[in-house]
């Protein structure tokens, strides 16, 4: 999820929820979130998922944990496909425009999970996700 759009989602939900951002250290800092970017054990992260009221994930181990716990979630997709890696119980949100051909380094997935910048096929945020669709998915 693009950091600009992630911040817009946070801004629209921060008055209703206590927002936790589980991420890597190199991910951009979002305002008004509780950030977990250090190595945290899976049991602790899965426990947070189990006790959460609402969830927004990008295809990750946490969305799989939520599915295993039968917790419907909003999952935002870019690098992988919900038809392959997703669950019908989730509200799976894909980009407005999909680049199905991958990029120069594509092999098993459309794009590398590590976020190598030249692999991002999107040059315009309007091609990615509709922030209001994400927010409404959480609020419904």
Domains present along the chain, CATH in parentheses: 3-139 (3.40.50)
Sequential DSSP letters for 64-133: HHHHHTT---EEE-SSS-HHHH--TTSEEE--SS--TT--TT-SSSSS-TT--GGG---S-GGGS--HHH
Contact status, residue 36 vs residue 22, Cβ threshold 8 Å: yes
- Say which residues have a Cβ less than 8 Å from residue 6's Cβ, sequence separation at least 6: 30
Task: Compute the distance between CA of residue 84 and CA of residue 110 in angstroms, rounded to an integer.
Answer: 12
Task: Compute the distance between CA of residue 80 and CA of residue 94 in angstroms, rounded to an integer.
Answer: 9
Nearest CA to 18 out of 30, 29, 7, 32 is that of: 32
Per the model's pLDDT, the better-predicted residue between 93 and 105 turns out to be 93
What is this structure's pTM?
A: 0.84
Query: Average pLDDT of the chain?
Result: 85
Is residue 108 very low, low, confident or very high in pLDDT (cuts 50, 70, 90)? very low
Contact status, residue 33 vs residue 22, Cβ threshold 8 Å: no
- Count other Cβ atoms within 10 Å, centred on residue 55: 19
H helix or E strand, kind and range, residue 58: strand 56-58
Task: Compute the distance between CA of residue 69 and CA of residue 46 in angstroms, rounded to an integer.
Answer: 9
Q: What percent of the chain has pLDDT over 70?
A: 83
Per the model's pLDDT, the better-predicted residue between 81 and 37 turns out to be 37
């Amino acid at each position: 999820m693009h950091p600009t759009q992630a911040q817009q989602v946070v801004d629209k939900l921060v008055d209703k929820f206590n927002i936790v951002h589980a991420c890597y250290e190199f991910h951009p800092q979002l305002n008004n979130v509780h950030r977990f970017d250090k190595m945290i054990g899976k049991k602790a992260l899965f426990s947070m998922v189990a006790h959460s009221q609402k969830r927004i994930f990008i295809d990750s181990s946490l969305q799989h944990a939520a599915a295993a716990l039968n917790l419907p979630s909003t999952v935002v997709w870019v690098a992988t496909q919900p038809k392959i890696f997703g669950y019908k119980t989730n509200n799976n949100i894909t980009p407005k425009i999909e680049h199905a051909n991958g990029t120069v380094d594509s092999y098993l997935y459309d794009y590398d999970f590590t976020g190598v910048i030249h692999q991002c096929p999107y040059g315009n945020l309007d091609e990615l996700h509709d922030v209001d669709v994400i927010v409404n998915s959480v609020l419904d």
